[in-house]
Structures are given as C-alpha cells and as structure tokens.
Structure 1
C-alpha cells in the first residue's frame, strides 16, 4: 500500500481518520540510531506503527520495532507527542489519516537486524550520517527532539 505525506499543503485531502501510533528512537551502545527504509514511500524513518486494541502503548513500541527490524527493545521514556492537524497521510485505500504519533526513546536488548514487508532496509546509522538520508521533515523533528537529552519534558505539538 502506498502513502503520500502532506504537510501544511492547501491541496491535501481532508483527514477521515486518526490512529494513535508510535515511533521509537532506538540507540545502541555506540550511539547509532535504528532506522528503517519504509516500503510504502521509500523514505527513511524511525520504526513504529499503529496502536492495537488490547495493547499498552509500550507494548506497541516493542511489537512494532520487533516486527519492522528484528530488534527487541525496552522502552526508556517519551520524547514527544505529535498531533499537527496540518500533517496528513493519504493511503491507496482511501484513508487520509491525521497525524497522532508518540515518540519513545528505547534501548536494544536483543535480536538481529532484518527487514519485513514494511521495510526495504534496516540499519544502524551514526547520528552524523542521518542528514544524508531521505527523511520526512516531521520524522526529522522527532529525531531531533529525541536526541535532545537536555529536554526536561517531552515535546507536545
């Protein structure tokens, strides 16, 4: 299924759904960040996805990172909540989803890198190399906020 992101675009279709979702900023002991290349739009992103009925939100983080990357993680804390109504995602099936995303910091506790049907590449990326990747501006914002360890409270916006 394909996806088009619209960010404050007057030509964007109106949203018809909101789905709570998570992304995980995972850093290994070397300081590298776990990144995926999405199969639906080809862009690089933090691993994550939609919250399912019956899950705690931290269970969603652990499940999504495992499904998309093969890495087992432990949730550390929350770095931000992202609910900008000007960011919508249009899917091939007609869904137009308003952003509602919670970014968590997590640490790897096991597993080995692998791709999934949602990812074409999975890799550990040095922070200095993140700028070389095709990352959507809203995802780049999540990464910047998660890297800012001096922040005393999560970003809310």
Structure 2
C-alpha cells in the first residue's frame, strides 16, 4: 500500500523529500517499505579435480538432480553458498567467482550462480539430499532440469 502511494509522487519530489528529511531512520523505513522485495539464492557449479560437476539429488523436487544451492541468510553470498553445500553434503568448497546473476519469478528472486571446486570432505546424507553424483558435461542423469544443464554448460564453457 505505501509503495503504491509513494510511487504516485513524481520522482523529483521523492528526491527532494529524501534529501531534506532530517530523520535518517524514518527515511530508511519509508524507502524499505516502498521497495519491492525479492529473495536471493546462491547456486554453485562446483567441480572436482577431474573437472566433473557436483550434482545433488534433492528429496523434495519433482526433477531431483541439480546443482547445489539455497537461500541466503544475512551473509556474504560466497559464505552462503559454502554454508549451504556443507550443510547439505558435508563437503567443503572453495568459491572461485561469480558467473551469473539471474532474475527469476515464483518466487521473485535473484539467483547468484558461482563457480567453485571441492576442497575436502566426504558426502554425508542430509534431510534434503539423498545422494550426490560427479558428472561429466553431457552425461546428465535422468531427472535433471534442462535449464540447469544449459546453465552448467554455459558457465563451464566461459572458462
């Protein structure tokens, strides 16, 4: 409701109001309430020493196989992905860098897709992940979304 009212005002007025309103906490409250919200997910194209991609079998998905990931908490994205992989698999990973930022819907979100590599650990089954698989490009398991196959291929072909 507040966002609809605020967005009716001309942009120039909003800038002037923000600039000349002395109460920082109030200004930040209004700005927060007026903006659209979305979730941030962290995903990883994680490889082993042989260059094979780590895939997880998710117990709650219709197409169970996919890359590791999850929702960020109040943390740096790289830390969020490292935490998610460890919580779900017991594996420790090194994040190499951000490869993609993708806007998605249902729910509204931004997916941050990183490249990384396994550095140590052995798989430990979790409530979310029943098994893992190291897979070469093109040798995908049944039950893996086409979008993820394409995403992995694009990211790994970027070098």
Q: TM-score, normalised by structure 2?
A: 0.70
Check whether the contact 1:79–1:145 (CA below 8 A) recurs between aligned residues. no
Q: Which has the larger radius of gyration?
A: 2
The one of 36, 39, 50 equivalent to 2:59 is 39
The residue number in structure 2 matching 1:94 is none
Partner of 1:11: none
> In structure 2, what is the equivalent of residue 60 of structure 1?
80
Q: Which structure exhibits the higher relative contact order, with contacts defined as CA atoms closer than 8 Å and separated by 6 or more residues?
A: 1
Structure 1 residues 60, 139: CA separation in 2 closer, same or farther (over 3 Å shift)? same
Please give the secondary structure, in 2, of the residue aligned with 1:36.
strand
> Is 2:71 aligned against 1:71?
no
How many residues align structurally?
123
User: TM-score scaled by structure 1?
Assistant: 0.71
Question: Aligned partners of 2:147 and 2:158: how far apart in 1?
Answer: 19
- Which one of the candidate residues 18, 21, 24 is aligned to 2:44? 24
Unaligned runs of at least 5 residues, structure 1: 1-15, 89-96, 151-157
- Counterpart pick for 1:50 among 56, 71, 79: 71
Using the TM superposition, give the Cα deviation of residue 98 of structure 1 relative to its aligned residue in structure 2, in angstroms: 2.4
Whole-angstrom CA distance in 2 between matches of 1:71 and 1:111: 5
Mapped pair 1:134 → 2:155: no
User: SS of 1:67's equivalent?
Assistant: helix
**Match in the other structure for 1:155:** none
2:157 aligned with 1:148: yes
More strand by share: 1
Q: Which runs of 4+ in 1 moved over 6 A?
A: none
Contact 1:23 1:103 in 2 (8 A): yes
